Structure 1
Amino acid sequence: MNDLRIPFLSNWVQRQAAEAVLEERSSTLANPDSWLVDWLTDGEPASSGILVNENTALHSTAVFACVRILAETIASLPLQLYQQRKQGGKEVAYSHPLHSILHDSPNEEMTAFVFIETLMGHLATWGNAYAEIEWDGAGRVIGLWPLRPDQTWVNRDANGAIWYHTIIQRTGDAVVLPAYRVLHIPGLGFDGLKGYSPISKQREAIGLTLATEKYGATYFGNGARPGGVIESTRKIGDQAAIDRLRNQWHDMHSGLQKQHRIAILEEGMQYKQIGLPPEDSQFLETRKFQLGEIARIFRVPPHMIGDLERSTNNNIEHQSIEFVMHTIRPWVVRWEQAIKLKLLTRPERKKYQALFNVNGLMRGDYKSRQEGLNIMRQNGIINANTWLEMEDMNPIDGPEGEAYLVNGNMTPVNATGKGGEQSGQAERNPINPDPGKQAGSP
């Protein structure tokens, strides 16, 4: 008997079978593994009858917009590796090999932006992001390669060790990787091992969104005409004649390209339109409501996905700041802590840490930003060059740009009543004791 292979099933099933062999487990139709169930069913339909999974959900404009906003926003933030200074504070660790991997390019095929955007897109849809860690012989990270979340499974063996069963996209090989070989960033989950898929957990809300979009497309595909009836004062004939008349009418007048055709009815026949327009059936209201529902799932301000109904110039700015604080910040912390745990050795974790710079998202309007910087400048918190750097401007050459200034009228609390005010002399500036080097703000 010849070996029977189904071309479109062959590659995927063979890889899954190989992966199952590596796990020393079997999967049958009587006792299927989760990967086989997901592959055969392609997810579950919602109550609306629409198939909802991580791929079909992106057909919704609202879901796609939310995922894109999260992925592009996180990817656009500068990610750098910092090291602690002996005198306090931190500085960018340019000399550490991991810095260029995080900031510039994680591998020879991708930029840092594309890599972070890809993994953040996985996080926003599947609830998990995976990347293979490439190590050299000296125990240093030399590359990061994204892994498909729909082709990666994580579990814990009898000894408590964590393993990742995945397919390497570059080679198509099914492999089992130990935990130290995988950068795993999980979303919200209750077992501490794997995050939940927002799409799977909110299947009904997303299914309703897709259903309303499909309904609208079908409605306009029918020429934006609801159903109708043809009445006749005489008997039309048998059922075959009725079906023939119905089909002829549908073929002549259904579809956008067949609008406004002239209909000729036989004697005694009259066409009556039935059904309600979308506004009366709250079709448009349902679509508007679903925009808010999807935005709520991903914690994205509605105005960012085009819903400006309740937005004003004032509250948009506050919503944008809240977006950074309550949406972007938690995701950033997940990234930073996963990088520290999986890409740095235990001794390095005491000295190094990866941080996203979110200051650019918190800038606000120009006038308010300059007023805030001026307050820090006058209180000796920043110098002129730090101010200029925050505004993406070139520094001032010479020591003047590095000088720190404080308001000359400020006096330490413990000096009050001890000659500070009676002498009429300003307190000596402890940061810049030479008053001759004080310069104005930039």
Structure 2
Amino acid sequence: MGLFKRIGSFFGAKGGPQVIDTPEKLAQALGAGYETHSGQRVTTSSALQQLVVFNCVRVLSESIGMLPCRLLKQTGRFRLPATGHRLYPLLTMAPNSFMTSQEFWEMLVACLCLRGNFFAYKVMALGNVVELLPLNPDIVIPKLKDDWTVEYTVNFKTGQRVLTQDEIWHVRLFTLDGLNGLNPIAYARQALGLGQAMDTHAAKLFTNGAVTSGVLQTEQTLTDEAFARLKTEFQGEHMGVANAYKPMILEMGLDWKPISLNAQDTQFIESKKMSEAQICGLFRVPPHLVASMEKMTLNNIEHMGMSFVNYSLVPLMTRIEHRIQVGLLSEKDRLTHYAKFNAGALMRGDLKGRYESYGKGIQWGILSPNDCRELEDENPREGGDIYLTPMNMTTKPESSDADKTKA
């Protein structure tokens, strides 16, 4: 597709003209992605083709997708599931007719990681949200108006529409203007471009493996015809991974001199590791979760897992929970209702550690036996709702009154 055709398709004859007011939108119009100093063009698709990026996005998306999200109602000091609210089944089971809640949360987190924003169209009925339809972030343009209200220009296939906050649910990442979430791929394009360049270089090394692993040497002078024939035969029979370890038939005093791994190749491997570590830092994913076990021990893996929950997942979950309360609940309901992801499943230790903590919780009256059984997905037992209090921790007012009477 030519330059003018790409620009013309971006403006769109059906959807109406779009304003190109940022370098990212210009790159999108040209189909070029984000230019980098390494010479690589970084796009969402090309970044996701890097294995470490794909693994980081998948770990974050699936980790939050597996957690239950419930709508709770606060009544005084008590919090109970708001099962009677129309929003409850959307968060816990299916937000629309073609997605489960797990798939929906996974898509939401993936959009945040790769685009910085997630948009969904709210289907309303009697003042309640009854369905959430995800939108491609590429077709939505947020705008803050002079009266401090937000409108969203959405380029549907049927044409362009301007929608309000009452019709669009917007979840954003870290933002500088309060409206648009920053795109991690755009702002980390230099590191991602370096990673793409290293992957391309490594692929060429394996494709031309014989050339980088040794040289052909002879004291004789080869004619142009002999040199061309040798080059053609050598490239066809001995270059590439598929031709590795094939025996060579050498003539005219040719000798094969193998070359071991040099300092530049060693530095390349170290640079590749550093690039992968930077990408893990971009998404705040511990390296061991993307199969990089270097410098990992049994002692620090557990702490790294807890750090992943506290500093990687909790910020995302809190961001989503607040947007649910503000964007999906009415002004009246948001005073008493709120959404909550249950991250307890990720914080659970082994069987021995869980049972020891349950024992302490029951001993000090924090938990009842049925509370512990519920955490283990077991049915309650009769008499298991009693909260114990240690005898040495109670004030025993009735005993004090009896002692005064005796005195």
Q: Which residue of 2 aligns with 1:81?
A: 71
Deviation at 1:162, TM superposition (A): 1.4
Structure 1 counterpart of 2:277, from 273, 292, 310: 292
Q: How does 1:130-169 map to 2 (within 5 A)?
A: 130-136=119-125, 138-168=126-156
Pick from 9, 13, 24 the counterpart of residue 13 of structure 1. Answer: 9
The structural deviation recorded for 1:119 is 1.0
> How far apart, CA to CA, are the structure 2 residues paired with 1:47 and 1:133?
41
SS at match of 1:401: coil
1:198-213 correspondence runs (5 A) = 198-213=184-199
Alignment partner, residue 351 of structure 1: 336
Number of the residue aligned with 1:340 = 325
Matches within 5 A, 1:106-255: 106-136=95-125, 138-168=126-156, 173-223=159-209, 225-226=211-212, 230-237=216-223, 245-255=230-240
Q: In the alignment, does 2:52 pair up with 1:62?
A: yes
**Equivalent residues of 2:73, 2:81 under 8 A apart:** yes
SS in 2 for 1:387: helix
- Partner of 1:431 in structure 2? none
Alignment CA distance shift 1:33-1:164 (3 Å): farther
CA distance in 1, matches of 2:10, 2:188: 32
Mapped to 1, the partners of 2:178 and 2:10 lie a distance apart of: 31
- Give 1:110's aligned amino acid: M
Contact 2:52 2:276 in 1 (8 A): yes
Quote the Cα distance in structure 2 between the aligned partners of 1:122 and 1:26: 22
- Post-superposition offset of 1:234: 4.8
SS at structure 2 position matched to 1:146:
strand
| Partner residue in 2 for 1:403 | 386
TM-score, normalised relative to structure 2: 0.88
Shift in CA distance, 293/104, structure 1 to aligned 2, threshold 3 Å:
same
* Partner Cα distance (2:359, 2:22) in 1: 65
The Cα of 1:10 is off from its aligned counterpart by 8.8
Distance 1:243 1:45, change over 3 A: farther
Q: 2:37 aligns with which of 19, 41, 47?
A: 47
Quote the Cα distance in structure 1 between the aligned partners of 2:110 and 2:166.
Answer: 23
Instruction: Indicate the larger mover: 353-362 or 39-48.
Output: 39-48
Provide, for residues 181-203 of structure 1, a one-character-per-residue CA deviation record: whole Å limited to 9, x for no partner: 11111111211111111111111
Answer whether contact 1:107 1:143 (CA < 8 A) is retained.
Answer: yes
Q: Secondary structure at the match of 1:163?
A: strand
1:308 to 2:290 alignment: no
Alpha-carbon distance in structure 1 between the residues aligned to 2:92 and 2:12: 35
**Aligned partner of residue 169 in structure 2, secondary structure:** strand
Q: In the TM superposition, what whole-angstrom CA distance separates every residue of 1:190-220 from its partner, at most 9, and x where no partner exists?
A: 1111111111111122222222222222222
Contact conserved, 2:24 with 2:33, CA < 8 A, in 1? no
Show the counterpart of 1:439. Answer: none
Residues 403, 231 of structure 1: CA spacing in aligned structure 2 closer, same or farther, 3 A cutoff? closer
- Amino acid of the residue matched to residue 121 of structure 1? A
Q: Is the Cα contact below 8 Å between 1:226 and 1:273 reproduced in 2?
A: no
State the distance in 1 between where 2:210 and 2:274 align. Answer: 22
Ranked by relative contact order (alpha carbons within 8 Å, sequence separation 6 or more), the top structure is: 2
AA aligned to 1:287 is K
Alignment RMSD: 3.1
- Say whether residues 1:282 and 2:271 are aligned partners: no
User: Equivalent residue for 1:434?
Assistant: none
How many angstroms apart in 2 are the aligned matches of 1:89 and 1:209? 51
Partner of 2:378: 393
Equivalence for 1:437: none
Please say if 1:104 is aligned against 2:87.
no
1:355-409 Cα deviation digits (max 9, x unpaired): 1111111112222222222222222222221111011111114xx1222221122
Post-superposition Cα deviations, 1:98-122, rounded to whole Å, max 9, x if no partner, equal 0001111001111000111111111
Which sections of structure 2, spanning at least 5 residues, go unmatched? none
Residue identity in the other structure for 1:142: V
Q: What letter corresponds to residue 61 of structure 1 in structure 2?
A: L
- Residue correspondences, number: 402
Secondary structure in 2 aligned to 1:97? coil
Q: Check 1:78–1:197 CA distance in 2 against 1; reply closer, same or farther (3 A cut).
A: same
- Tell me the TM-score normalised to structure 1 length: 0.81
Judging changes above 3 Å, is the alpha-carbon distance between structure 1 residues 278 and 163 closer, same or farther for their aligned structure 2 residues?
Answer: farther
Moved more, 288-297 or 269-278: 269-278
What is the percent sequence identity of the aligned residues? 33
Alpha-carbon distance between aligned partners in 2 of 1:351 and 1:219, rounded to the nearest angstrom: 61
In the TM superposition, residue 244 of structure 1 has moved relative to its aligned partner by: 5.9
Gaps of 5+ in 1: 424-442
In 2: Cα distance, 1:14 partner to 1:281 partner: 44
Deviates more, 1:11-20 or 1:119-128: 11-20
Q: Which residue of 1 aligns with 2:25?
A: 35
Contact 1:229–1:272 (CA under 8 A) maintained in structure 2? yes
Alpha carbons of structure 1 residues 229 and 421: separation in structure 2 relative to 1, 3 Å: farther
CA distance in 1: counterparts of 2:281 and 2:27, whole angstroms: 29
